[in-house]
Amino acid sequence: MAVGRGARMWRFDAGRICLDLVATERAGGVPGTCEQLDGPGHLAQWLTDARLVPPGTALDALDDTWVVRFHELRSDVSRLMAARLGGPPADGALERVNSLAYGAPPGPRAVRGADGDLVRALSAAPDCAGLLAVVARDAVDLLTDPLARAALRRCQGEDCHRLYLDTSRGGRRRWCSGEVCGNRERVARHRRRTSGTTATNDPGEPGAFDPGEPGVRGPEKEIPPGVE
194-222 residue pLDDT tens: 776 544 444 444 444 443 444 444 333 34
Of 49, 47, 81, 82, the C-alpha closest to 67 is: 47
CB neighbour list of residue 196: distance below 8 Å, 6 or more residues apart: none
- Confidence at residue 183, expressed as pLDDT on a 0 to 100 scale: 62
What pLDDT digit, counting tens, does each position of 143-187 carry? 999 999 999 999 887 778 889 999 888 777 777 765 667 566 666
Tell me the per-residue pLDDT of 100-132, one tens digit each, with 9 for 90 and over.
999 999 899 999 988 999 999 999 999 999 999
Q: Give which of 141, 108, 131 is closest to 19, Cα–Cα.
A: 141
In DSSP terms, 121 is beta-bridged to 109
**Per-residue pLDDT for 138 more than 90?**
yes
Angle subtended by helix axes 64-84 and 128-144, to nearest 10? 0
pLDDT at site 173 = 76
* H or E, element range at 10: strand 8-11
- 176, 155 Cβ separation under 8 angstroms: yes
CA angle 16, 212, 190 (to 5 degrees): 100
Say what the pLDDT of residue 175 is.
Answer: 72
- The per-residue pLDDT for range 39-88, each reduced to its tens digit, is 999 999 999 999 999 998 999 999 999 999 999 999 999 999 999 999 99
Q: What pLDDT is stored for residue 161 in this prediction? A: 80
